[in-house]
Amino acid sequence: MGHPRKALRTTTVGAVSATLIAGSALGLAPTAQAADAVRFVDIAGDGGTVLKANVITPAGADGSRRYPLLVLPTSWGLPQVEYLAQAQKLANSGYIVVSYNVRGFWQSGGEIEVAGPPDTADASKVIDWALANTPADDRHIGMAGVSYGAGISLLTAAKDKRVKAVAALSGWADLIDSIYSGRTQHVQAGALLDGASLVTGRQSAELRQIFDNFYASNLSKEQDMIDWGKKRSAATYVDQLNKNGAAVMMANAWGDTVFSPNQYADFYEKLTGPKRLELRPGDHATAELTGLFGLPNDVWTDTGRWFDHYLKGADNEIDREQPVRLKSRSGGGYEGYPDWKSVGATRKKIALSGTTTIHTNVDSGADGGIVFLSSILDQIAQAPPVAAIPLLPRRWAAVWQSEKYATAQQVRGTAKLHTTVTPTKESGTLVAYLYDVGPLGLGKLVSNAPYTFHGQTPGKPLGVDLELFSTAYDVPAGHRLALVVDTVDPLYIEHNPSGAQLTFSSPANDPSYVSIPLREQ
């Protein structure tokens, strides 16, 4: 009897490959002859593990000259033809492009290591192979990727000084801060990654145990999970990355429910070499998606410009543009800033006065949405999750509102909550939401974030400082901002014992507030 999961994987790779190849053909028909045909090859990765790869070289590349090399590791769960359309475009403009399926997925060998040492060693082996088997220039090497490929590219640049430029799209720099922010499991994101890897790959025993501990909220294994994640986070190796001097471009979406923009922005600030940060509306990898089918796409256009300058020396002015580029979820063009801290140049506080007690274990109706779906709707139709603020049951939701704004408020950056909570149990979870509230009381979600505590003394006040997920959103004149706090959200695992209550207060010597970052007018 055959292996059903292997058969499913083989069938799926055919369907996905056909779709991507068809899309690339449609998108590139006028210029398809400018690059040589794609070659499918096997590359020996770390320990001899077979990596399925494809290679595209510029037309007429006969070994008489050298070309800059781009290495593209695939995304989590996608096959080796993922980047075919972009690879052809890049080859057309004079690059040798090698894209490969990371170990543990599809037809490549090995097990899923989640950007562990074997994955970065694989990337270096792919570079070795390209230098030995193509007319690639060992002085001009770049890496790029979406999601999983982005994380592997950043990590490899920290460990292999031959990598001179990186474009990390919808990736992570801090894995724990991505799916365990606020000490809270992002369960929908975790389940999405888990499910995709079960269908398209082969999980290692270590990865299976990590997922099981993640779902079970096994606190005895929490530090092990954190250590495992740090080993797979470019933020851990930022000093080495800075020492190597690679030029790093990072792009992400405001509503990324897998890798939040906060951890990218924090990492960006620690980089000392050439760098660029782009943030747009959308969810995980949706901003780059059309480019995978060869259609016009801002992210991939800037990726090409980034490599043209830092690998080819093209004077295309990308190094003289404002390095932080944002697009508001409310529409409009790109905004440029000299650095991340200039994004929210001014701050306005909303006082969270009074004392409010809420009961736990019930979803109040204020939610962060559904992984992928909600932020895609926001990207396409500017339709974020909504809640009727006046109707939220105060037994399960604490609500504070600002005054009505006379002028539009351009929220930019990271809102910060500071409050005091007194729990009745030693553990608990709260989720904070920031809403744009219209005249009829309908709130559109601006941002949210979870926060979990363990080992606290019941009845003892606890100080809470929480950064909400970074965003860019325009609140119209005549609207208010509202902060809502409840204890249950389908996006996250909650840790509220049955019957627990949370009391929010604002001591005179330590008042509670939410600080709103605003674009300088």
- Phi, then psi, of 461 in degrees rounded to 5: -60, 145
With b meaning 16 or more CB within 10 Å and e meaning fewer, what string describes 243-271? ebebbbbbbbbbbbbbbbbbbbbbbbeeb
Q: How far apart are CA 218 and CA 232, in angstroms?
A: 20
Residue found by looking up tokens 């020996």 in the block: 44
The pTM assigned to this predicted structure is: 0.91
Q: What is the pLDDT of residue 10?
A: 37
The two tokens of residue 254 are 């405001």
How high is the pLDDT of residue 28?
Answer: 40
Q: What pLDDT shows up at residue 34?
A: 60
Predicted local confidence at residue 158, as pLDDT: 98
Tally of CA atoms within 13 A in the half-sphere of 134 that contains its CB = 32
What is the spatial order of strands in the sheet that 50-56 belongs to? 39-44, 50-56, 96-100, 67-73, 136-146, 163-169, 247-253, 275-280, 324-327, 334-337
**pLDDT attached to residue 23:** 40
Contact 375, 491 (CB under 8 A): no
Q: What tens-digit pLDDT sequence spans the chain (521 residues)?
A: 334 344 334 333 343 433 343 344 333 433 334 667 899 999 999 999 999 999 999 988 888 899 999 999 999 999 999 999 999 999 999 999 999 999 999 999 999 999 999 999 999 999 999 999 999 999 999 999 999 999 999 999 999 999 999 999 999 999 999 999 999 999 999 999 999 999 999 999 999 999 999 999 989 999 999 999 999 999 999 999 999 999 999 999 999 999 999 999 999 999 999 999 999 999 999 999 999 999 999 999 999 999 999 999 999 999 999 999 999 999 999 999 999 999 998 999 999 999 999 999 999 999 999 887 888 898 888 899 999 999 999 999 999 999 999 999 999 999 999 999 999 999 999 999 999 999 999 999 999 999 999 999 999 999 999 999 999 999 999 999 999 999 999 999 999 999 999 999 999 999 999 999 999 87
- How crowded is residue 377: how many other Cβ atoms within 10 Å of its Cβ? 17
